[in-house]
Amino acid sequence: MVFNERVYLPSDWVRKPAQSEEKLFRYLDTVNKSLDEKWKAYDLSGIDQNKNYLIQWRNYCDELKQSSQK
C-alpha cells in the first residue's frame, strides 16, 4: 500500500463512494496506526527520507488533510 501509493478502501466505500472527508481521515488514521504497529519492531531511522515509503505515506496523508482545510 505504501510502496505503491494506493489507498485500499473498505468494500462498502467502493459500493457507496460518497463518504465524508471526516470519515476518510478517520480511516487513514486507523491505517496509519496499523502501519505503526506493523513496523514498530524495526528501526527505520537509517532510511533516507526520500526512500522511506512510510514517511512518504505520512506526508501524503498530511498534505491531503491540509488541502481539505483550505
pLDDT per residue over 2-53, tens digit each? 566 666 667 776 666 667 788 888 888 888 898 889 888 988 888 998 888 8
The amino acid at residue 10 is P
**For position 7, what pLDDT does the model report?**
66
**For position 24, what pLDDT does the model report?**
83
What are 61's three cell numbers? 496523508
From 69, 51, 64, select the one nearest 2 (Cα to Cα).
51
* pLDDT above 80 for 60: yes
DSSP 8-state secondary structure symbol assigned to residue 42:
S
Contact, 32 vs 61, CB < 8 A?
Answer: yes
The pTM (predicted TM-score) of the whole model is 0.68
